[in-house]
Amino acid sequence: MTQRQLETEAKYDEVVEYFNNNKSTVRKTAKACGVSKSAVHYILTKKCPNPTSMAILAKNKAERHIRGGQSTKRKYQEG
């Protein structure tokens, strides 16, 4: 493997490890690892899929509308 391939694999491992250990959102993982949200999603679903990551992604997707509603509620309570 070339140096670049090793660095890429290391970045994939970093993203997956952070996401799984922190049970984080894609957005928080992207910010912490210094990559785009699209890259995080691609890594988790295509490059390094595993049952833990897929379960966390599914949970986040199921809760997404609730977090959005809470955010909107705070916006109008404060404003």
pTM here is: 0.82
Q: What is the mean pLDDT of residues 52-66?
A: 92
**Count of the separate structural domains present in the chain:** 1
Q: Please name the residue that has the structure tokens 């993203």.
A: 15
The pair of three-digit structure tokens given for residue 54, joined into one six-digit string: 């897929």
The pair of three-digit structure tokens given for residue 12, joined into one six-digit string: 């994939």
Q: What is the mean pLDDT of residues 49-73?
A: 90
pLDDT of 47 higher than 80: yes
Range of the domain at 52: 3-78
Residue 71's closest CA among 36, 12, 79? 79
Sign of the Cα torsion 20, 42, 32, 34 reads positive
